[in-house]
Amino acid sequence: MPATERTLLTQAQMAEGVAALARSIRDENQGAETIALAGIYTRGVPLAKRIAAEIEKLGGMKVLVGTIDITQYRDDLNTFQMVPKLEGSDIAFDIDDLTVVLCDEVVFTGRSVRAALDELLNFGRPKRVQLAALVDRSGRELPVQPDFSALKVTLSPGERVAVRFEEVDGLDSCTVQTQASTR
């Protein structure tokens, strides 16, 4: 059987999901003058930037945006045929006593989030760390749950969520890909 792909979120639904994430983050952090968003490379970066733009439209707080590269903290590097490109983290502001929202397009096993926390804490000691994901996929291996998600899905082991952003991939899409059967 060949691999298949089905739409999980349309481009418009992705935009609605980002706007909903922004509202939830702002509402949860009422009273904060400043909040920081840290996008996890690769696709958490455009997600963080989009959420920040939406929060700024809503007003009421300053939004700082940084990036987190988890390559050096991955526990599965030995399984890669080719090591991912090292982007380097960029947090050009003091995170001490600041609420930082880690942003990733999909939270699945929790391992990327664990790696992102390790890297984030090299930059200081945040007041609080929250987690935002466009898609919260079932199948956790670590006790990590998003504080904010646009969509929660339960998928079979042979399925994976593929999120694409215009800034990285040339289009916005969120699909479920089913692996080809090897029978």
Q: What pLDDT is stored for residue 86 in this prediction?
A: 74
Q: Please count the helices (runs of H) and the strands (runs of E) in the chain.
A: 4, 8
pTM recorded for the entire structure: 0.92
**Residue 165 near residue 43 (C-beta atoms within 8 A):** yes
Sign of CA dihedral 49, 51, 55, 61: negative
Contact yes or no for 14/167 (Cβ under 8 A): no
138-147 pLDDT per residue, tens: 999 999 999 9
| DSSP annotation of 158 | T
DSSP H or E run through 109: none
H or E segment and range at residue 182: none
3-state secondary structure at position 126: coil
Name the DSSP class of 88.
-
Task: Point out which residues pair with 76 in neighbouring strands.
Answer: none
Smallest Cα–Cα separation from 38: which of 63, 73, 66, 70?
A: 66
Tens of pLDDT, residue by residue over 94-122, are 999 999 999 999 999 999 999 999 999 99
Domains of the chain: 11-154 (3.40.50.2020)
